[in-house]
Structure 1
Amino acid sequence: MKNMLLKDAEERMKKSTEKISEEFSHMRTGRPSPAILEEIKVDYYGVPTPINQLATINVSEDRSLIIRPWEKNMLSHIEKAILASNLGLTPINDGNVVRLNFPIPTTEQREKWVKLSKEIAEKGKIAVRNIRRDVLKEAKEMEKNKEMTEDDLRRFEEELQKLTDKYVEEMDKLFEKKKKEIMEF
């Protein structure tokens, strides 16, 4: 039973880490990345559809994303969706492709992004600690119901703390990686 609790805790902590990693990938950093467009939906004949299902998205060397729709009539729809998305980027429609230019971010902007990244990482750490708290509560309930001895509970707490520390450290690593990426310019 103890192992099941640990396994459950680890799975939940891993999911939290993956969620934070995903949030970081959608964050704007000044560097063009197709991942920034994943959440944007375009009205495709009445159906909200992700841009990457309507077009190819390429990163060009001049700090821009090139969105080449498979149907030319989708250019204006893609342009409108990007404008409505609050990305802070202005799409340029040249009749064949939509271009998103990424200006070099100011130091102030980068510091703001780092602060936002830190907040996201902190949310992840809080989620991991909440998982620890919930699982520990279950274990204490088991000990109370005589399903686990006091010594087993103590060992379980130690193992759970090691697991928690591992995933909190993982969150810190993700944050440091994102911070480095943001401050790279």
Structure 2
Amino acid sequence: MSNSDLEANMRKSVEATQRNFNTIRTGRANPSLLDRINVEYYGADTPLKSLASLSTPDSQTIAVQPFDMGSLALIEKAIATSDLGFTPNNDGKIIRINVPPLTEERRKEFCKLAAKYSEEGKVALRSVRRDAIDKIKKQEKEGDLSEDQSRDEQDQVQKTTDRFIAELEKHLADKEVEILKV
């Protein structure tokens, strides 16, 4: 595994973790809060983003405007049954979701969730590292690399891993500050 492949795979893990962070409420309305919602539409689970335009008319409201008015009730049901705890208000054309301010207890729960997502990201990074080191050891075993070259490359992989883990921890700290900000 080349260094650029290693970095690309690690970058993907960090980006996936950031996408998970974006789905965590912070007290402000944000359309990305609805990214994980899928709607049962004509027998298939369809992402909400594919069925409606999402906007934030103000800091406490998310507006969902379906492209097909026939899907309005389905979208409303999907939002209501999601684990986000939102109550959608349907006016016949647009679904409005009021995002209430977070309680201190709820903020702490979301910080724990962010930490969980961060840990999942770290596990993914370690998995990429393990795969890279296994390939290096295999090359050493086959005689393609000397013992010193193998050790140097393994050290390089570890340094890259450490750099990405530090980046993840920075993103986690930023997200926790954002969540705890009242």
Q: Which amino acid aligns with 2:33?
A: I
State the secondary structure of the residue aligned to 1:57: strand
Could you tell me which residue of structure 1 aligns to residue 89 of structure 2? Answer: 92
Could you tell me which residue of structure 1 aligns to residue 45 of structure 2? Answer: 48
Mapped pair 1:15 → 2:12: yes
Query: Partners in 2 of 1:51 and 1:75 — Cα distance?
Result: 11
Could you tell me which residue of structure 2 aligns to residue 171 of structure 1? Answer: 168
Query: Partners in 2 of 1:123 and 1:55 — Cα distance?
Result: 30
Query: Partners in 2 of 1:148 and 1:160 — Cα distance?
Result: 15
What's the Cα RMSD here?
A: 1.8
Q: Which runs of 5+ in 1 are unaligned?
A: none
Mapped pair 1:143 → 2:140: yes
Q: Deviations over 1:16-52 (max 9, x none)?
A: 1111111111222222111122222223344433222
Q: Which moved more, 1:44-53 or 1:161-170?
A: 44-53
Instruction: Determine what percentage of the aligned residue pairs are the same residue.
Output: 38
The alignment covers a number of residue pairs equal to 182
Could you tell me which residue of structure 2 aligns to residue 30 of structure 1? Answer: 27
Mapped pair 1:60 → 2:57: yes
Name segments (4+ residues, structure 1) moved above 4 Å: none
TM-score (norm 1): 0.89
Query: Partners in 2 of 1:43 and 1:144 — Cα distance?
Result: 52
Query: Partners in 2 of 1:143 and 1:74 — Cα distance?
Result: 58
State the secondary structure of the residue aligned to 1:147: coil
Q: Which runs of 5+ in 2 are unaligned?
A: none
Q: Which amino acid aligns with 2:57?
A: S
Q: Which residue of 152, 155, 159 maps to 2:152?
A: 155
State the secondary structure of the residue aligned to 2:179: helix
State the secondary structure of the residue aligned to 1:143: helix
Query: Partners in 1 of 2:102 and 2:88 — Cα distance?
Result: 17
Q: Deviations over 1:98-146 (max 9, x none)?
A: 1111111011110110111011111111221222122112212221221
Q: Which moved more, 1:23-32 or 1:104-113?
A: 23-32
TM-score (norm 2): 0.90
Query: Partners in 1 of 2:153 and 2:140 — Cα distance?
Result: 11
Q: Which amino acid aligns with 2:116?
A: E
Query: Partners in 1 of 2:59 and 2:23 — Cα distance?
Result: 20
8 A Cα contact 2:29 2:59, kept in partner? no
Deviation, structure 1 residue 62: 4.8
